[in-house]
Chain A
Amino acid sequence: VTPVDLVLAEDGEGDVRLALHALKSAGFASRTLVVRDGAEALQVLLDPDRVLPRLVILDLKMPKVDGLEVLQQLRATPRTSTTPVVMLSNSRQTRDIAQAYALGCNGYVVKSMDFEEYSSSMASLVRFWLDVNTLVGSQ
């Protein structure tokens, strides 16, 4: 299995295509693995034979296992307990945001309804975790 830098868990057909478009514009699409629900995300991330990605982006609301449950299980597993996880959500509700941080996410991004804004926030988010953060870590 080819190692990836980024695992994106996103269920909506449209959302996936738009996310990939945004990642492609920023030059990250080839380093990304897209999974379509929480169960698949856990299958990939908890597989000891796979190299861990440097960033996991989880949609909050997904079928079968939702983003918060995935986050919870990642944090409860020693191997993934410190893997960077950013939640991606349509919800700007305080309780969702607070709950996500309480469960140990590293960031929470509200998906903008404006595609330009959405694209640029995705790009800067991924750039930070995959490029900037790596530079800082290697110094």
Chain B
Amino acid sequence: VESGRCDRVTTLVPPARGSEELFRLLVAGVVDYAIITLDVTGHVTSWNPGAERIKGWTAQEIMGRSFETFYQQEEIDAGKCAMELRECARTGSFEDEGWRLRADGTRFWANVVITAMRDPQGHLIGFSKLTRDMTERRANEESVRALNADLERRVQDRTALLTAMNEELESFTYSVSHDLRAPLRAIDGFLSIVRSEHADGLDEEGTSLLAEVSDNARRMGRLIDDLLEFSRLQHTELAFNSVRTQLLVERLVARVRSEQPDRELDITIQGLPDVRGDEILLAQVFDNLVRNAVKYSRAGQVPAIVLRGREVVGGWEFEVSDHGVGFDQAYSGKLFGVFQRLHRADEYEGTGVGLAIVKRIVTRHGGRVWATGTVGEGARFGFSLSSGEL
């Protein structure tokens, strides 16, 4: 507590003979501090204008009265005043902060330093007492504290609200998964029975229409699954680990090749870095991007796909580029939305959730996604990951 200022006061006493007048003038000029002296029993022996301004008594009114006058009754009863002087006489000085009384009975928050004064022989001759009015500063501190507490409370309220909303969403998702699956399975099941056991009663048109119904039911099933997957991603805890993306992508590419052994694929992996992230989720990001690149290749052409990755300031960046059908850059904003598709369902299989899943995973890794493309020339999908060290 501003020890420098206190030290300065302690060196003021006792005044050497001759400089006494100078000292008196100095003290008399101070209005921001109450500077008073007390005799050994705590009665006021001098009173500066600062004291009058802060405490409200004139020198005439207060001289000779006990400094207990400035304290609240409970404190006096508890022996606080006597303790302060005793402690000060023992150690040389005493410092305190607390409520003190003014002449009109109002309170102010005071910072008080009492210093023992001794004669050259070392006998106690009284005390000097320096008091500052800290009420305003205390009020400011309290209002800052109150504001912080209020902010804290509002953050907690908001967090509780969001948690409740998340739980509600989760239970909604859960019931969607349960309730929508059952009728879908029934549709698929009854269709299957009709087609296997009642085929004789159907003409070619009827059979074809039922196949159409069946396709749509299956497609809806995939949509529900994808939507649930997308929704689940928001709640899954990320398991951060070191991920060797080169290895991860090599395995993925091997898998994609083995699934379409008759198809020629030209996939180049250009030295991908090790990153920190959730391996399973990052695998899904690469999976979606690579499969997209394969899917949207131009008819009759061997898909040519290049994967690049590098370390950048604060994280890593990856890009998957192809020479496929591409897309109109004007619609690039729609690419990462849920159920947004730039191609008709009968042109390319898909539910329109894959890139939304990519974006959600990347966002949860503190990164961002981007896409550039030209119709008929190819597309380039990129994403960044944060190392969390910036």
Question: Chain A residues in contact with chain B, CB under 8 A?
Answer: 12, 14-15, 17-18, 21, 61, 90-91, 93, 111-116, 118-119
Contacts and interface: CB of A to CB of B under 8 A. Distances in A.
B189 A91 contact: no
A127 B144 CA distance: 73
Chain B contact residues: over half helix, strand or loop, or mixed? helix
A108 to B, nearest CB: 15
**What 5 pairs across the A-B complex have the smallest Cβ distances?**
A14-B186, A115-B189, A18-B189, A115-B192, A90-B181
18 contacts: A14-B182, A14-B183, A14-B185, A14-B186, A14-B189, A15-B182, A17-B186, A18-B185, A90-B181, A90-B185, A111-B181, A111-B185, A112-B185, A113-B181, A113-B185, A114-B188, A115-B188, A115-B191
Contacts of A90: 177-178, 181-182, 185
Given A18-B189, A21-B193, A115-B188, A12 B182 contact: yes
A112 B218 CA distance: 12
Given A91-B177, A93-B174, A113-B221, A118 B189 contact: yes
Contacts of A91: 174, 177-178
Nearest to B224: A113
B252 interface: no
B190 interface: yes
Contacts of A14: 182-183, 185-186, 189-190
B245 to A, nearest CB: 27
Contacts of B185: 14-15, 18, 90, 111-115, 118
B248 interface: no
- Chain B interface residue count: which class? 10 to 19
Nearest to B180: A90
Contact of B186 (A18, A112, A119): A18
A93 B231 CA distance: 13
A38 to B, nearest CB: 16
Interface of B: 174, 177-178, 181-186, 188-193, 218, 221
A17 B186 CA distance: 9
A91 B174 CA distance: 8
B288 to A, nearest CB: 21
Kindly name the residue among A61, A115, A118 whose own CB sees the greatest number of chain B CB atoms within 10 A.
Answer: A115
Contacts of A116: 192
A139 to B, nearest CB: 37
A12 B177 CA distance: 15
Nearest to A13: B186
A97 to B, nearest CB: 13
B213 to A, nearest CB: 13
Contacts of A119: 189
Contacts of A18: 185-186, 189-190
Given A61-B178, A91-B178, A113 B184 contact: yes
Contacts of B182: 12, 14-15, 90, 111
A133 B185 CA distance: 29
A11 to B, nearest CB: 10
Nearest to A91: B178
A21 B193 CA distance: 9
Contacts of B221: 113
A115 B187 CA distance: 9
B192 A15 contact: no
A113 B188 contact: yes
A12 B181 contact: no
Nearest to A111: B185
Considering residues B188, B191, B221, which has the most beta carbons from chain A within 10 angstroms of its beta carbon? B188
B221 to A, nearest CB: 5
B225 to A, nearest CB: 8
Nearest to B225: A113
A12 B186 contact: yes
Contacts of B193: 21, 115
A17 B183 CA distance: 12
Nearest to A112: B185
B36 to A, nearest CB: 72
Nearest to A114: B188
